[in-house]
């Protein structure tokens, strides 16, 4: 085993509280490239499969001591092979990136070991894959990065911010000219991802909802990059892409209801406060995963794997601190508490309809533990500040927000990480409209370090 993987094993134990032998089914043999040239297959999201997955596999194989690593296009568009020489033998990983829904179908048909998805698994997909175990458990659902669904226009377009409601009206064909939005006279040309895309599913869920349908005149694209390049070439176009595919287009700021417009920037996306932030997932069977695939998943969650997430253009989950802005909104007590603190790039959130930490939050607790155990942070403390959506009374909202912060404190104390007294500010500083289903995003715990 290489020095890197010895360190990875130690880091994995720290991050998860599990040994590699408990993480991988004991019934499975250790991965041996001498017995198989195909390590594993990945099907699904183009957002992940176009660049991020090949780059992560390249780094994973390199960390294992692989050489002659090549990315080879296959006969069908958006399908590639990552090939390497490992221990004197040619090995490869195949990737087919035709949209999130295709990944779940491939997993069901045993055509893929890993499904790539730019949206959470749907109930009907979970049911179809139930023979693989609980597909919403942390054994099967792996959050690998945060992405921002960027609304893009031509760089010379003077419109620089839109509400979710305006965006919905544009893509439904209700607003048809840029002059209706304060821009120059010109008929709006709508571009969208195709129906197989998780990016489309996310857009449809977050923007169109049940009240709007995409205009029939919209041009559809399988690839984020192709869509972005078309927007860059047409001053009247508008589209949506993953963060890594903004390219030469301009991303505009977005607001939900009366919230402050936010651009898709590192902190707002990492904390998932940006209205169109989303998680990127890898899904596997809950048990009996191929050893090479399991080893790859562990690599992706490591700091080296997350560094590639950042390099590729997405937002990594490794915590970073950002100094509090001087001109911030919020209750005076909140501003006083945080004026000399650093905001960490993590918001802890909870499973829907539950007080339990969701799968990402469980990973984030481990990352916070690792962050606080670094020598430069050992004399610092975490400050946990809870928020929520509106309740019958302000007092109830404040109490619930404080209880959320206390839940995070308890999880950290299990790892001997002490915190400052928890705080709760109820429905202040909403990041989503309290009148829509997205209000669940307001139920969060901000993490600051002092």
Looking at the structure, tell me whether residues 379 and 336 fall in a common domain.
yes
DSSP, residue by residue, 254-294: EE-TTSPPB---HHHHHTT-STTEEEEEEE--SS---HHHH
Q: Are residues 239 and 119 in the same domain?
A: no
Structure letter (DSSP) for residue 205? I
Hey, how many other C-beta atoms are within 10 angstroms of the C-beta on 329? 10
pLDDT at 331: 86
Greatest Cα pair distance in the chain: 67
Give the range among 104-108, 321-325, 430-434 with minimum mean pLDDT: 430-434
pLDDT in tens, 260-272: 899 998 899 999 9
If asked whether residues 57 and 76 sit together in one domain, one would say yes
CA-CA distance, 80 to 77, in Å (whole number)?
Answer: 8
pLDDT computed for residue 34 by the predictor: 47
Q: Return the pLDDT at 123.
A: 96
Task: Express each pLDDT in 317-355 by its tens digit.
Answer: 999 999 888 778 788 999 999 999 999 999 999 887 777
Q: Mean pLDDT score of the chain, rounded to an integer?
A: 89
Query: pLDDT tens-digit profile of 146-161?
Result: 988 999 999 999 999 9
Q: Do 208 and 355 sit in the same domain of this protein? A: no
Together in a domain, 44 and 171: no
The verdict on 341 and 246 lying in the same domain is no
User: What does each C-alpha distance from 423 to 148, 217, 236, 388 come to in angstroms?
Assistant: 28, 50, 47, 12
CATH number of the domain at 76, please: 3.40.190.10
HSE-CB for 300 with a 13 A CA cutoff? 25
Alpha carbon distance 327, 60 (integer Å): 43
Question: Considering the domain boundaries, does residue 118 fall inside one?
Answer: yes
The verdict on 116 and 19 lying in the same domain is: yes
In a domain, 268, yes or no: no
- Asked whether 248 and 231 are in contact (CB, 8 A), the reply is no
Mean pLDDT of 35-57: 92
User: Which range is least confidently modeled, 193-207, 232-246, 279-293?
Assistant: 193-207
The total number of structural domains in the chain stands at: 3
Task: Say what the pLDDT of residue 15 is.
Answer: 47
Residue 153, phi then psi, degrees to nearest 5: -135, 175
Tell me the pLDDT tens digit for each residue of 126-141.
999 999 999 999 999 9
Instruction: Report the share of the chain in percent with pLDDT over 90.
Output: 74
77 and 15 in a common domain: yes
For residue 60, is it within any domain?
yes
Give the per-residue pLDDT at 5: 54
Is 164 found in the same domain as 84?
A: no
Question: Are 206 and 286 in a shared domain?
Answer: no
CATH code for position 376:
3.30.1330.60
Q: Look at residue 269 and tell me if it is in a domain.
A: no
One domain, residues 8 and 139 = yes
What's the average model confidence in pLDDT over 241-258? 91
Instruction: Indicate whether 59 belongs to any domain.
Output: yes
Distance of CA 261 to the CA centre of its chain: 20
Mean pLDDT over residues 211-230, rounded?
A: 96
pLDDT tens digits for range 375-431? 999 999 999 999 988 876 889 989 999 999 999 999 999 999 989 999 999 988 888
- 118: domain range? 3-144+279-312
Q: For residue 35, what pLDDT is reported?
A: 47
Residue 166 belongs to a domain: yes
290 and 232 assigned to the same domain: no
pLDDT band for position 437 (50/70/90)? low
Residue 266 has what pLDDT? 87
Q: Would 264 be classed as within a structural domain?
A: no
Name 121's Cβ contacts closer than 8 Å, sequence gap at least 6.
Answer: 104, 129, 135, 136, 141, 281, 283
């Amino acid at each position: 085993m290489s020095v890197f993987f010895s360190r990875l094993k130690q880091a994995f134990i720290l991050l998860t509280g599990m040994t590699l032998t408990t993480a991988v089914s004991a019934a499975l043999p250790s991965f041996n490239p001498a017995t198989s040239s195909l390590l594993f297959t990945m099907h699904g999201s183009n957002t992940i499969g176009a660049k991020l997955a090949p780059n992560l596999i390249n780094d994973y194989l390199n960390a294992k001591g692989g050489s002659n690593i090549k990315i080879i296009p296959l006969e069908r568009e958006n399908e590639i092979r990552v090939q390497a020489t490992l221990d004197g033998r040619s090995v490869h990983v195949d990737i087919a990136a035709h949209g999130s829904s295709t990944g779940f179908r491939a997993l069901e048909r045993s055509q893929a070991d890993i499904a790539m998805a730019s949206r959470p698994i749907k109930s009907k997909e979970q049911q179809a894959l139930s023979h693989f175990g609980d597909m919403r458990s942390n054994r099967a659902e792996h959050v690998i990065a945060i992405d921002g669904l960027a609304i893009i226009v031509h760089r010379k377009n003077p419109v620089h911010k839109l509400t979710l409601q305006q965006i919905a009206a544009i893509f439904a064909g209700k607003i048809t000219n840029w002059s209706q939005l304060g821009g120059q006279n010109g008929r709006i040309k709508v571009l969208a991802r195709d129906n197989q895309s998780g990016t489309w599913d996310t857009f449809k869920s977050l923007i169109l909802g049940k009240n709007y349908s995409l205009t029939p005149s919209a041009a559809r694209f399988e690839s984020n990059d192709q869509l972005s390049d078309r927007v860059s070439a047409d001053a009247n176009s508008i589209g949506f892409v993953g963060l890594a595919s903004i390219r030469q287009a301009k991303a505009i700021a977005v607001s939900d209801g009366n919230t402050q417009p936010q651009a898709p920037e590192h902190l707002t996306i990492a904390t998932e406060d940006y209205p169109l932030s989303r998680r990127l997932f890898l899904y596997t069977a809950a048990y009996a995963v191929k050893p090479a695939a399991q080893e790859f998943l562990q690599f992706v969650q490591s700091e080296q794997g997350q560094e590639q997430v950042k390099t590729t253009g997405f937002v990594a989950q490794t915590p970073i601190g950002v100094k509090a802005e001087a001109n911030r909104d919020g209750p005076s007590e909140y501003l006083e508490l945080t004026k000399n603190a650093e905001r960490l790039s993590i918001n802890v959130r909870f499973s829907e309809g539950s007080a339990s930490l969701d799968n990402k939050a469980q990973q984030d607790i481990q990352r916070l533990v690792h962050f606080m155990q670094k020598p430069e942070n050992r004399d610092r403390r975490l400050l946990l500040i809870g928020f929520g959506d509106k309740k019958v009374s302000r007092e109830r909202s404040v109490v619930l927000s404080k209880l959320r912060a206390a839940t995070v404190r308890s999880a950290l104390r299990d790892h001997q990480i002490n915190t400052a007294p928890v705080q709760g500010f109820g429905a202040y500083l909403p990041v989503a409209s309290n009148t829509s289903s997205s209000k669940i995003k307001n139920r969060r715990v901000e993490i600051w370090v002092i």
